[in-house]
Amino acid sequence: MSDDQVMFTLDESEQVTHWYNLVADLPTPPPPPLHPGTREPVGPDDLAPLFPIELIMQEVTTERYVEIPEPVREVYRQYRPSPLFRARRWEQKLGTPARIYYKYEGVSPAGSHKTNTSVPQVYYNSLNGVTRLTTETGAGQWGTALSYACSLFGMECEVWQVGASYDTKPQRRTLIEVFGGTVHRSPSRMTESGKAFPEDHPGSLGIAISEAVELAAQDENTKYALGSVLNHVLLHQTVIGEEALRQLAKAGESGADVVIGCAGGGSNFAGLSFPFLREKLAGTQSPRILAVEPTSCPTLTRGEYRYDFGDTAGLTPLMKMYTLGHDFVPSPIHAGGLRYHGMAPLVSHAVHEGLIEATALHQSECFESALEFARTQGIVAAPESSHALAQARREALAAAESGEEKVIVIGLSGHGLLELGAYDSFLSGRLEDDPLSQEALDAALAEVPVV
């Protein structure tokens, strides 16, 4: 193999056929979600107005593997397996003995990992006579992924986009519309949850979720789709890590020493890392597994592990998770997909149990790393993904100091070609770091319900 051959692919017979469910291997079971009214554990009936039965069962299953339905695999084949690259030129630039690999999800139709779950979600809904899906979107990637999947299965798609993103990222809205979806600025005037806020409010994912859930609950043929956080979403994303394990073996590696992903709601991070965590729990590999978040929305590193709502209005079940408080509205940083007050209960549980680690970085360091990465590897990373790059850079430089030959695996969750405004801010020196103040954190946490 020449030094330039840096991409590792899989043959037809090596393709992933099952998603992996971490719950089957956890030493202790994660705490159950609670009904927002009764505060009792939610049952399948409570979720039925919002989700089709197959997804509800995936939400609670303890089976280790779930087969990927053939119609979903057919769509996956368009862009999967996603490539695993060796970042040789970046390694050289950093002068590190570490071997850096990145799993690139930017090759999907929507440009991010989110298509991995939008396709199965729409598929299962289509089996149940659902004609319309509602959802929220932050930076726009989830809305794009769901809109595309809906167009494949002949379903309507209505998206509430966080106001701050709607105003500053018109191209994202256009892309959702290209794929056939309809976009509303959140907070909108169409829902009670939206009307609780002034029309020019910058919005938040929490508010947008409330709006989408409210409309879905009112109409029998409309259901709701969530792009992150829930167990079934994380399950679908494990196709990333299952492929990465196989590809790493093809690259001649016996395993990873560090696995790094950015974490907003936790889905791309879990998707890459949970199959590695399975190997770690089984004792076949011993990677450090690291979630990276922005200092302006430091859910895992500064939030509290307790029951909180997934949305602002308190319509969703209470989930035991790291949270900054469901009222928390993070500052409008460029990594829109990382601006969520909570974190997937499964990721939260694994962090709380000490199985994985978390760290927070300033966005300026992230963009600096992303520029270096673009100039050596030729890929413009999504601002979210740049958090994983920056942490990998730190690990690679530490390896240069210590002379350690470690294997670093990065989740590159998406491309940033629609986020050039963010790169422009950085290049022209207009990008500011805005770490969360203690007062703002205390005020938001004071609103978390006592359970």
Ligand X SMILES: *Cc1c(COP(=O)(O)O)cnc(C)c1O
Residue placing its CB nearer to ligand X in the complex, 330 or 414: 414
Question: How far apart are CB 37 and ligand X at their closest, in Å?
Answer: 27
Report yes or no: 141 and 170 within 8 Å, Cβ to Cβ: no
Q: Which residue is nearest to ligand X (CB)?
A: 414
Question: How far apart are CB 16 and ligand X at their closest, in Å?
Answer: 18
Question: How far apart are CB 106 and ligand X at their closest, in Å?
Answer: 8
Question: How far apart are CB 13 and ligand X at their closest, in Å?
Answer: 29
Taking alpha carbons only, the member of 69, 51, 442, 414 closest to residue 226 is 51
Residue 102 and residue 7: Cα distance in Å, rounded?
10
Report yes or no: 445 and 304 within 8 Å, Cβ to Cβ: yes
Residue 133 and residue 157: Cα distance in Å, rounded?
5
Report yes or no: 391 and 363 within 8 Å, Cβ to Cβ: no
Residue 183 and residue 169: Cα distance in Å, rounded?
12
In the numeric block, the tokens 């409330």 are attached to: 210
Residue 322 and residue 303: Cα distance in Å, rounded?
5
DSSP string, 367-412: HHHHHHHHHHH---B-TTHHHHHHHHHHHHHHHHHHT---EEEEEE
Residue placing its CB nearer to ligand X in the complex, 118 or 141: 141
Question: How far apart are CB 112 and ligand X at their closest, in Å?
Answer: 4
Question: How far apart are CB 351 and ligand X at their closest, in Å?
Answer: 13
Dihedral Cα 389, 390, 392, 397, nearest 10 deg: 140
> Residue 88: is it exposed, middle or buried by C-beta count within 10 angstroms (0-12/13-18/19+)?
middle
Residue placing its CB nearer to ligand X in the complex, 361 or 399: 361
Q: Which residues bind ligand X (CB under 6 A)?
A: 112, 114, 141-142, 228, 262-269, 337-338, 382, 384-385, 413-414
Taking alpha carbons only, the member of 275, 270, 283, 281 closest to residue 230 is 270
Residue placing its CB nearer to ligand X in the complex, 161 or 228: 228
Q: For residue 244, which amino acid is it?
A: A
Residue placing its CB nearer to ligand X in the complex, 112 or 316: 112
Residue placing its CB nearer to ligand X in the complex, 268 or 316: 268
Residue placing its CB nearer to ligand X in the complex, 248 or 380: 380
Residue 203 and residue 260: Cα distance in Å, rounded?
29
Question: DSSP H helical segments within 153-230, as ranges?
Answer: 163-168, 170-178, 192-195, 205-218
Question: How far apart are CB 387 and ligand X at their closest, in Å?
Answer: 8
Question: How far apart are CB 2 and ligand X at their closest, in Å?
Answer: 31
Residue placing its CB nearer to ligand X in the complex, 187 or 261: 261
Question: How far apart are CB 447 and ligand X at their closest, in Å?
Answer: 23
Report yes or no: 311 and 229 within 8 Å, Cβ to Cβ: no
Residue placing its CB nearer to ligand X in the complex, 158 or 293: 293
Residue placing its CB nearer to ligand X in the complex, 147 or 267: 267
Residue placing its CB nearer to ligand X in the complex, 130 or 292: 292
Question: How far apart are CB 10 and ligand X at their closest, in Å?
Answer: 22
DSSP string, 115-168: HHHHHHHHHHHHTTT--EEEEEESSSHHHHHHHHHHHHTT-EEEEEEEHHHHHH
HSE-CB of 280 using CA atoms within 13 angstroms: 20
Residue placing its CB nearer to ligand X in the complex, 148 or 406: 148
Positive or negative CA dihedral for 316, 322, 324, 330? negative
Report yes or no: 117 and 240 within 8 Å, Cβ to Cβ: no
